């Protein structure tokens, strides 16, 4: 009964005859318990009767002799028939169960009439109490139980695999708002700009796909693949008309969409980039397929200068962090515990806590982590020093 059912199914699929026998036995729990308890109680009853006969013949039928015999046989049954076998079985369930299946399977066939007769009374009692074990749902793992199994199964999974599996479970709890590039950091091609400015933007960009707008990001007209532009410019000069011909229709994502749902949407629509919009249709940010993949497998080695945040380690153990750095990235990289149910960046978190634009040199502590404002500009915190060695439990 202590055997891991998932491990058993795996062994059965691998072709283990013992595993198949064990699976058949466990599929009929009432009959399996019947034959085990039949033999167990038969031996216990026979032991008690035999001890009584031996005591009467050797020591007489006095009360003290029978009492001592009862205590002795009880001790022997507990040690050798109950506790020791059950402890061994629980500790080494797999080898014992697989080996026992070769004994229990034929024994069940042999004793089936007796087991069937006994189970008639068992079923009658269960019917009286309105219990129907035959219809009980097969035990299965919930999502949280499976998550715990992955996290605590350190010796079964390599660390990298365990991290990836753990991140997969979190995709339903993370939304596109948590990983998107904010509106202020979106690089876009403005069709109203001079051609030379457009050309320079295309040649200096670190992205393969760029939003295309007219005037501002509020007027998105499509998504441009930079490689297609390079291909077209081989045969002619760059022009706005040519750009309009090769851009693809924009793809919009409602804010609050879970990452797992968006990953499926990217797959179904064959898209790699989407623009996050709020309930009023205002663009809030940009999400790419790579953003979601990084939440699963971790950060990639290459990033554009405008992507993510900047970390500069200091000799005193602290680290300089850009204000636009996402809190999720800080928590994952440095093991911090910044709250994720509010602002998405360290700048937003500081402004929320202080309810004011801080001056450089201002110090504060958030979630047990001390930090100092190094630079502010344009009504936002540009640079923060986080003292990792001085943090305390939140």
Domain ranges for the chain, please list them. Answer: 5-135, 176-297, 311-390
* Dist. CA 229–CA 218, nearest whole Å: 23
Reported as type and span, the H/E element at residue 377 is: strand 369-377
Strand (E) or helix (H) holding 222: strand 216-225
Domain 311-390 sits in CATH at 3.30.465.10
Domain 176-297 class, CATH top level: alpha beta
Spatial distance between the Cα atoms of 109 and 345, rounded to a whole number of angstroms: 67
Asked whether the domain spanning 311-390 has the same topology as the one spanning 176-297, the reply is no
pLDDT at residue number 137: 44
Query: Which one, of 279, 273, 284, lies nearest residue 218 by Cα?
Result: 284
Q: What is the rounded CA–CA span in Å between residue 200 and residue 185?
A: 18
Distance CA 59, CA 70 (A): 13
Residue 148, C-beta contacts closer than 8 angstroms, at least 6 positions apart: none
Structure tokens belonging to residue 47: 């032991």
Burial (Cβ within 10 Å: 0-12, 13-18, ≥19) of residue 162: middle
Per-residue confidence of the chain (394 residues) as pLDDT tens digits? 778 787 888 888 888 899 999 988 888 888 888 888 888 888 888 988 999 899 888 888 888 988 998 999 999 989 988 899 888 888 888 899 999 999 998 988 888 888 888 888 888 888 888 877 654 445 566 777 777 777 776 666 777 777 788 788 878 788 898 888 888 889 999 999 998 898 888 888 888 899 999 988 999 999 999 888 877 766 667 888 888 888 999 999 999 999 999 999 999 999 999 999 999 889 999 999 988 988 888 766 555 544 545 788 888 888 999 988 888 888 888 888 898 888 888 999 999 999 888 999 999 999 889 999 999 988 889 999 999 887 665 4
342-351 CB contacts, 8 Å cutoff, 24+ apart: 344/177, 344/178, 344/182, 345/182, 346/309, 346/321, 346/322, 346/381, 346/384, 347/323, 347/380, 347/381, 347/382, 347/384, 350/323, 350/381, 350/384, 351/380, 351/381
237: left (phi over 0), alpha (psi -120 to 50) or beta: beta
> Would you give the end-to-end CA distance of the chain in angstroms?
42
Which two three-digit tokens encode residue 39? 């033999």
Q: What is the SS3 assignment for 359? A: coil
Q: Identify whether the C-beta of residue 282 lies closer than 8 Å to the C-beta of residue 201.
A: no
Q: Are 253 and 277 in contact (CB under 8 A)?
A: yes
pTM exceeding 0.85:
no
The position carrying tokens 């999720």 is: 328
- Tallying the residues shown for the chain, one arrives at 394
């Amino acid at each position: 009964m202590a055997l891991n059912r998932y491990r058993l199914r795996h062994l059965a699929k691998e072709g283990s005859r013992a595993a198949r026998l064990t699976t058949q036995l466990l599929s009929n729990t009432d009959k399996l318990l019947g034959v085990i308890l039949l033999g167990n109680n038969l031996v216990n009853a026979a032991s008690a009767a035999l001890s009584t006969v031996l005591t009467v013949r050797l020591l007489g039928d006095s009360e003290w002799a029978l009492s001592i015999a009862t205590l002795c046989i009880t001790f022997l049954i507990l040690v050798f028939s109950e506790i020791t076998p059950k402890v061994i079985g629980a500790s080494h369930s797999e080898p014992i169960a697989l080996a026992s299946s070769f004994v229990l399977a034929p024994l069940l066939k042999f004793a089936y009439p007796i087991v069937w007769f006994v189970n008639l009374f068992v079923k009658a009692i269960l019917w009286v109490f309105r219990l129907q074990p035959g219809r009980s749902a097969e035990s299965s793992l919930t999502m949280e139980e499976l998550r715990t199994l992955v996290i605590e199964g350190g010796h079964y999974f390599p660390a990298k695999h365990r991290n990836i599996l753990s991140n997969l479970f979190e995709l339903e709890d993370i939304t596109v708002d948590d990983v998107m590039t904010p509106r202020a950091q979106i690089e876009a091609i403005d069709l109203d700009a001079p051609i030379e400015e457009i050309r320079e933007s295309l040649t200096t960009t670190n992205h393969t796909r760029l939003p295309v707008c007219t005037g501002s990001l509020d007027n998105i007209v499509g998504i441009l693949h930079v490689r297609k532009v390079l291909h077209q410019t081989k045969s002619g000069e760059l022009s706005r008309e040519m750009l309009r011909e090769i851009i693809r229709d924009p793809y919009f994502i409602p804010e609050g969409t879970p990452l797992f749902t968006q990953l499926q949407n990217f797959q179904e629509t064959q898209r790699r980039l989407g623009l996050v919009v709020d309930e009023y249709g205002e663009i809030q940010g940009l999400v790419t397929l790579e953003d979601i993949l990084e939440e699963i497998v971790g950060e990639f080695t290459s990033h554009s200068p405008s992507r993510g945040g900047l970390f500069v380690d200091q000799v005193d153990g602290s680290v300089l962090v850009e204000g636009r750095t996402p809190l999720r990235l800080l928590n994952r990289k440095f093991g911090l515990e910044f709250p994720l149910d509010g602002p998405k960046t360290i700048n937003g978190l500081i402004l929320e806590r202080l309810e004011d634009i801080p001056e450089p040199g201002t110090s504060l502590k958030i979630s047990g982590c001390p930090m100092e404002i190094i630079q502010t500009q344009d009504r936002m915190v540009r640079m923060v020093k986080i003292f990792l060695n001085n943090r305390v439990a939140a």
